[in-house]
């Protein structure tokens, strides 16, 4: 079903030929397009200025406060997203290649992720094997580690809709390119060992609309002089990184069993559950899943942000390193 799609015209973007719509978020339309200058496909995120209300596109999940955004804060937000993305270069993060704006629209030209959302893979596969879950979540975490440690950026909106992928196998750079249909190749070691990827290939984090640059003590000091920062700012920096770790825990839980750790029809009840960190490894779905995976999730879905795993602790966990669990206690 090829619906006719139209992107608003804007001078400077003539080289892109719109192919189809690939997504509509609460704030934007995203199109697949052909860059006629390079003959490569790209994604173009088109954000309409000044009319970003929930009712407009029939999505009602926005907080009421969000509808009252002023033109100025809206513009500030999108320019922040662009500024953040301009400085970010990592294989697990969607790359921004160009930015334009007209009177009515913002245009973000992005690296295209042909595989679409991780969310759709969950719907398709119901749940992932532990190996496939590891393949995915480790890449998400690599993107997050880069954001946290190299960029001083907290994503703040990690969820399956914002995790995209390329359906290409990850092969050592010296190997010939393979297709995923070619199962024999897996035995020839052309895929990342023990990974396979199940058609998911490279995972990329998208949607920096809610990201926040945090103040980094050790490197840059955009907000003032080192040593004069108030404790709540230092504390906030630490806590804000931990929100991404919580989200990684939610995503990992979800891909392993096919449903989210916290759910309730009523928003009030759901909020209560989240606040208390009230989740269970529901039987029978969680019965076949390893204690190691459960231990990792417990440490990520930990209500106290001081106790919650940091990105470094995540990478040291036996489930992530594929080591025996429980680990041998050092004497």
Identify residues 218-257 at the interface with ligand ADP (CB under 6 A). Answer: none
Residue 157 beta carbon to ligand ADP: minimum distance, rounded to whole angstroms: 8
Name the minimum Å distance from CB 15 to ligand ADP. 17
13 binds, among ligand ADP, Mg ion, none (CB under 5 to 8 A by kind): none
Binding mask 157-176 for ligand ADP (x = CB under 6 A): ----xx-x------------
Cβ neighbours around 138 below 10 Å, total: 17
Binding partner at 216 among Mg ion, ligand ADP, none, C-beta below 5 to 8 Å by kind: none
Q: How far apart are CA 70 and CA 207, in angstroms?
A: 21
Count of residues of this chain found to bind ligand ADP when the rule CB under 6 A is applied:
22
23 strand-pairing partners: 30
The structure tokens listed for 2 are 């090829």
166 binding Mg ion? (CB under 5 A): no
For Mg ion, the nearest residue by Cβ is 207
Q: Which residues are annotated as a binding site for ATP?
A: 49
* Residue 155: partners with Cβ closer than 8 Å, 6 or more residues away: 144, 147, 205, 208, 210, 211, 244, 247
Collect all residues with Cβ–Cβ distance below 8 Å to 64 and sequence separation of at least 6: none
Distance between CA atoms of 299 and 307, rounded to whole angstroms? 8
Residue 108 interacts, among Mg ion, ligand ADP, none and using kind-specific CB cut-offs from 5 to 8 Å, with none
Is 42 in contact with 18 (CB distance < 8 Å)? no
Q: Please pick, among 24, 131, 157, 236, the residue that the annotation labels catalytic.
A: 157
Compute how many other C-beta atoms are within 10 angstroms of the C-beta atom of residue 225: 7
- Ranked by CB distance to ligand ADP, the top (closest) residue is 25
Q: What is the 3-state secondary structure (H, E, C) of 14-76?
A: CCEEEEEEEEECCCCEEEEEEECCCCEEEEEEEEECCCCCCHHHCCCCCCHHHHCCCHHHHHH
Among 35, 117, 166, 216, binds ligand ADP (CB under 6 A): 117
Measured between alpha carbons, how far is 103 from 114 in angstroms, rounded to an integer?
A: 30
Cβ-Cβ contacts under 8 Å for 324 (sequence gap 6 or more): 318
d(CA 190, CA 175): 7
> Considering CB distances under 5 to 8 angstroms, the limit depending on partner class, which of Mg ion, ligand ADP, none binds residue 211?
none
Question: Residues forming the annotated binding site?
Answer: 49
Residue 25 in contact with ligand ADP, rule: CB under 6 A: yes
N-terminal to C-terminal alpha carbon distance within the chain: 64
SS3 96: strand
Q: Of residues 28, 121, 139, 162, which one binds Mg ion by CB under 5 A?
A: 162
Q: Does 45 bind ligand ADP (CB under 6 A)?
A: yes
Question: Which one of the spans 63-71, 174-182, 203-211, 311-319 is the region binding ligand ADP (CB under 6 A)?
Answer: 203-211
112 binds ligand ADP (CB under 6 A): yes
Nearer to Mg ion, 190 or 248 (CB): 248
> Quick check: is 287 catalytic?
no
**Do 298 and 306 form a contact (C-beta atoms < 8 A)?**
no
23 binds ligand ADP (CB under 6 A): yes
Out of ligand ADP, Mg ion, none, which partner does residue 112 contact, by CB within 5 to 8 A per kind?
A: ligand ADP
Q: Check binding of 27 to ligand ADP (CB under 6 A).
A: yes
* 28 touches ligand ADP by CB under 6 A: yes
- Note whether 207 binds Mg ion by CB under 5 A: yes
Decide: is 96 part of the binding site for ligand ADP (CB under 6 A): no
Catalytic residue IDs? 157
Where on the chain is the footprint of ligand ADP (CB under 6 A)? 22-23, 25-28, 30, 43, 45, 94, 110-113, 116-117, 161-162, 164, 206-207, 209
| Interface positions with Mg ion (CB under 5 A) | 25, 162, 207
């Amino acid at each position: 079903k090829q619906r006719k799609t139209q992107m608003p015209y804007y001078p400077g973007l003539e080289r892109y030929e719109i192919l189809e719509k690939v997504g509509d978020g609460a704030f934007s339309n995203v199109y697949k397009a052909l860059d006629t200058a390079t003959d490569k496909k790209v994604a173009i995120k088109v954000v309409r200025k000044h009319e970003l209300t929930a009712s407009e596109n029939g999505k009602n999940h926005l907080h009421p406060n969000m509808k009252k955004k002023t033109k100025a804060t809206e513009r500030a937000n999108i320019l922040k997203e662009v500024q953040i993305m301009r400085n970010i270069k990592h294989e697990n993060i969607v790359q921004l290649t160009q930015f334009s704006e007209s009177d009515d629209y913002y245009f973000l030209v992005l690296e295209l992720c042909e595989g679409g959302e991780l969310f759709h893979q969950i719907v398709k596969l119901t749940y992932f094997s532990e190996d496939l879950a590891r393949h995915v979540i480790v890449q998400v975490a690599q993107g997050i580690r880069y954001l946290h440690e190299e960029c001083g950026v907290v994503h703040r909106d990690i969820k399956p809709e914002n995790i995209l992928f390329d359906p290409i196998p990850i092969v050592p750079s010296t190997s010939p390119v393979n297709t995923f249909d070619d199962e024999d190749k897996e035995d020839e070691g052309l895929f990342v060992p023990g990974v396979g990827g199940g058609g998911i290939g490279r995972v990329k984090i998208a949607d920096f609309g809610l990201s926040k640059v945090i103040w980094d003590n050790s490197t840059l000091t955009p907000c003032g002089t080192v040593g004069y920062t108030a404790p709540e700012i230092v504390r906030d920096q630490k806590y804000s990184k931990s929100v991404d770790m919580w989200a990684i825990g939610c995503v990992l839980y979800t891909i392993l069993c096919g449903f989210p750790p916290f759910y309730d029809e009523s928003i009030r009840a759901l909020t209560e559950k989240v606040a208390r960190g009230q989740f269970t490894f529901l039987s029978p779905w969680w019965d076949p899943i390893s204690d190691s995976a459960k231990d990792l999730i417990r440490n990520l879905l930990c209500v106290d942000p001081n106790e919650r795993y940091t990105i470094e602790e995540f990478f040291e966990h036996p489930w992530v390193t594929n080591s025996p669990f429980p680990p041998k206690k050092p004497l």
